[in-house]
Amino acid sequence: MARGQKSKVARTPLRAEPMSAGVAAAAAAKAASAAKAATKTGAAVAAAAGAGSLTQGGKEGVAGTRAPTPSFDPAIQLGAMPPLGYFDPAGFSKKGDESGFRIFRAAEIKHGRVAMMAAVGAVVQHYVKFPGFETVPSGLSAVLSPPGSYGMVALFLVAGALELGAWTEDSSKEPGNFGDPLGLGQYDDEMRARELNNGRFAMFAALGIIAAELLTGKDAAEQFGL
């Protein structure tokens, strides 16, 4: 070939070699087998995850797994009784929140017991004076006039010691259950319901006595015209 003369070489475009029917069938079978194996692996992982979720926080079943426990419902607990039934307009108690309900129930019982003693004591103090307290006036002014104020401080300290020491809440018992020290044998659902009702009524009674005295200056007995 002469120098300077461009060579003319025919360039043939590349073409894919045809695949035989046997090779194509083998490739398709291999792909199907891989897809089937992946499907089985995914199903096994999902089943294991489901079994693990059932095992946590439920009751044991026949196969060793646990079924979900029913949610705690405050509407069917003790205290939901006529005439109001379940009364929680502010929505403090939530379904499933048993620990929160126990806190509110313990506070309700405690305030009810204090209010029952306060309502009765507000009337009795008008007629009964302990030795050494004859000069203490009746009503709210008793806590501001010595020696009534000293008695109030002593009562506060004793109540605090009992609450922090002897009368502490036990998670294995009902809220407010401090045993039966007098051995009366009356700690049943009926007496507990009565205590709740009387405590709720006493809280309103004590609040009314205090509000009326602040408004009129009369103690609990004088408010009845006695």
Q: What is the mean pLDDT of residues 124-128?
A: 93
CATH of the domain at 108: 1.10.3460.10
Q: Is residue 108 part of a domain?
A: yes
For residues 123 and 208, state if they share a domain.
yes
How many domains in the chain? 2
Q: Is residue 35 part of a domain?
A: yes
**Helix then strand then coil, % of the chain, to nearest 5:** 55, 5, 45
For residues 61 and 116, state if they share a domain.
no
For residues 46 and 130, state if they share a domain.
no
- Tell me the per-residue pLDDT of 199-218, one tens digit each, with 9 for 90 and over: 999 999 999 999 999 999 99
Residues 125/118, Cβ–Cβ less than 8 Å: no
% of the chain surpassing 70 pLDDT: 69
Residues 187/109, Cβ–Cβ less than 8 Å: no
Residues 169/175, Cβ–Cβ less than 8 Å: yes
Alpha-carbon span 9 to 139, nearest angstrom: 123
For residues 102 and 165, state if they share a domain.
yes
End-to-end CA distance of the chain: 142
Range of the structural domain that residue 48 is part of: 22-68
For residues 115 and 180, state if they share a domain.
yes
For residues 109 and 220, state if they share a domain.
yes
Q: Is residue 141 part of a domain?
A: yes
- DSSP letters, 90-122, are T--S-TT-HHHHHHHHHHHHHHHHHHHHHHHHH
- Tell me the per-residue pLDDT of 134-190, one tens digit each, with 9 for 90 and over: 999 999 999 999 999 999 999 999 999 988 888 889 999 999 998 888 888 889 999
Over the range 148-180, which residues count as b (16 or more CB within 10 Å of their CB) and which as e? beebeeeeeeeeeeeeeeeeeeeeeeebbeeee
pLDDT-based confidence at residue 27 (cuts at 50, 70, 90)? low
For residues 62 and 102, state if they share a domain.
no
For residues 134 and 184, state if they share a domain.
yes
Q: How many CB atoms lie within 10 A of CB 71?
A: 10
Task: HSE, CB side, 13 Å, CA atoms: give it for residue 177.
Answer: 14
For residues 177 and 112, state if they share a domain.
yes
Q: Is residue 87 part of a domain?
A: no
For residues 190 and 123, state if they share a domain.
yes
pLDDT-based confidence at residue 28 (cuts at 50, 70, 90)? low
For residues 108 and 194, state if they share a domain.
yes
| pLDDT of the residue at 35 | 54
Q: Is residue 77 part of a domain?
A: no
In terms of average pLDDT, the best of 16-25, 61-70, 192-201 is 192-201
Q: Is residue 84 part of a domain?
A: no
Q: How many residues does the chain have?
A: 226
Q: Is the pLDDT of residue 16 over 70?
A: no
Q: Is residue 209 part of a domain?
A: yes
- Tell me the per-residue pLDDT of 108-117, one tens digit each, with 9 for 90 and over: 999 999 999 9
For residues 198 and 118, state if they share a domain.
yes
| pLDDT of the residue at 62 | 46
Q: Is residue 6 part of a domain?
A: no
